[in-house]
Amino acid sequence: MIKIKDRSEITKMRNAGKLAARVLEFIAPYVKEGQSTGNLNDLCHEFIINNGAVPAPLNYHGYPKSICTSVNNIVCHGIPDKDQILKSGDIVNVDITVILDGYFGDTSSTFMIGNVSESARLLVERTENAMYRGIEAVKPDAYLFEVGRAIEKYISKIGYSIVREYGGHGIGSEFHEDPHVYHFYTTLNKIRLKPGMCFTVEPMINEGRYEVITSKKDGWTVKTKDNSLSAQFEHTVLVTEQGYEILTKL
Ligand code: MF3
Ligand code: CO
Ligand code: CO
């Protein structure tokens, strides 16, 4: 069941989205060579709490930290660790989800550390472009599959692959609501968009093959099966009468 948000809920979604965006803006200058992902977690945790919100990942189905930090061949759900030091050439996705006044805001960016290879830089740039292609397909009465179709059209030309096992999601007073948002074309997303729907667009793009493996050790960390690089960007989006509003931008 897809929930349509009313005016007061939309106000809360805007506030939560804005705060999530502010957390990313706050942490950006620390996402540098020599920093540990564990320290990034602690800084974000503190910032979120100080702003009257709660970090949604913490204890979510047993997840142990307040943010996700996914480095290089890690696709998503990387667990921050004080012993994991960022080094020049790395790419790292920082994924922030906050709960403010009972509503969720979810956003992520992939950062480049020091001097990254040309191929890594292109992967990051094009993954962000892919997310925006998807978002730009959002408007009332369009099918949700237009989002995935736009992403697929852009990415398949380049020869990258789109992770299939994870997608975007409805979001509101719960972290993951209906619908599941596929980042490729499928009639499973033959759903008409209506004003007041909120969902994330968060494509995970691999330089190599699309298959992923979840760590047996920690039960969370998802990596590319072929160990190729993976990048991701995420925004929380509201369907409006005119088209869309990105809730997680400043
Ligand atoms: N923020 C992720 C998403 O975009 C979900 C993280 S779940 C966690 O949906 F438990 F790993 F934090
Ligand atoms: Co999300
Ligand atoms: Co997220």
Q: Are 91 and 109 in contact (CB under 8 A)?
A: no
Angle between helices 7-27 and 37-50 (to 10 degrees): 140
pLDDT at 166: 98
Helix (H) or strand (E) holding 150: helix 145-158
pLDDT at 45: 99
Amino acid at 87: K
CATH class of the domain whose range is 7-246: alpha beta
pLDDT at 3: 98
3-state DSSP assignment of residue 10: helix
pLDDT at 104: 99
Ligand 3 (ion): residues with CB under 5 Å are 95, 106, 234
**DSSP label at 115?**
S
3-state DSSP assignment of residue 7: helix
Ligand at minimal distance from the CA of 214 is 1
* Alpha carbon distance 210, 183 (integer Å): 12
Average pLDDT by stretches of 10, the chain with 250 residues: 98 99 98 98 99 99 99 99 98 99 99 98 99 99 99 98 98 98 99 99 99 98 99 99 98
The verdict on whether omega for the bond into residue 179 sits within 30 degrees of 0, i.e. cis, is yes
Count of other CB atoms within 10 angstroms of residue 169: 21
Please, how many CA atoms are within 13 Å of residue 65, restricted to the half-sphere of its CB? 24
The pair of three-digit structure tokens given for residue 181, joined into one six-digit string: 């948002």
| Domain boundaries along the sequence of the chain | 7-246
Q: Compute, in angstroms, the gap from residue 16 CA to the centroid of ligand 1.
A: 16
pLDDT at 36: 99
The contacts of residue 13 (CB under 8 Å, 6+ apart) are 5, 103, 104, 105, 171, 172, 198, 236, 238, 247
pLDDT at 176: 98
**DSSP label at 234?**
B
Q: Are 239 and 196 in contact (CB under 8 A)?
A: yes
Out of 69, 76, 79, 232, give the residue to mutate to test ligand 1, the one with the largest number of ligand atoms within 8 Å of its CB: 76
- Residues having CB closer than 6 A to ligand 1 are 57, 60, 63, 68, 77, 95, 97, 106, 200, 202, 234
Q: Residue 69's closest CA among 88, 95, 43?
A: 95
Q: pTM for the whole thing?
A: 0.99
CA 212 vs. chain centroid, Å, equals 17
